[in-house]
Amino acid sequence: MGGCSNRFTHVKDGTVLYKKRAIEELADQILVAMEELFASFAECQRLVAESVTEQVNNEAMGFLIEETLEQMWEIATHYTTGLVWIEEVTVGSIDSGKIHLAFEGSVDVDFQWGSGSDVRRGEGHTSSENFPFKGTLWAPVSDITNMQDVVCEVETGSYFE
């Protein structure tokens, strides 16, 4: 298709198509080329997402462990973030400077009500839960491992049902 399209970009004698069959063939070639182009975009996004999944997991884990999550404080004043599982990373957009990523996963959380000694005396309680979360971040195109502005939202609504 590449060589064919060039001769039709500048109108000169012999470049305008008048025959129905020639027009249909060119239209078919253009549609196939566009379909392949869009398929390559999707494949590019899939490969980018696949290549950064481990890094996104590390960023999400860091956020969920280091940040005090208000949703957890609503359940118990003592909690520990356990395993973080990234189930899906998707490319939201890619522009000339940034790659925007979205991710989903789940996080294991251990809750404690009362102090450690309360729990040992049977006056406190512990519980382990798993919650889904969603997040976003971005990275410069020039250094995709330099992820910025990590935001995660843990969905704890199921705990209260």
Give the model confidence (pLDDT) of 29-45 as tens digits. 889 989 999 888 888 87
Q: How far is CA 143 from CA 59, 60, 150, in A?
A: 15, 18, 16
Of residues 20 and 118, the one with the higher pLDDT is: 118
Q: Which residues contact 93 (CB under 8 A, 6 or more apart)?
A: 99, 100
By percentage, how much of the chain surpasses pLDDT 90?
A: 24
Q: For residue 121, how many other CB atoms are within 10 A of its CB?
A: 10
Q: Are 127 and 110 in contact (CB under 8 A)?
A: yes
d(CA 89, CA 101): 7
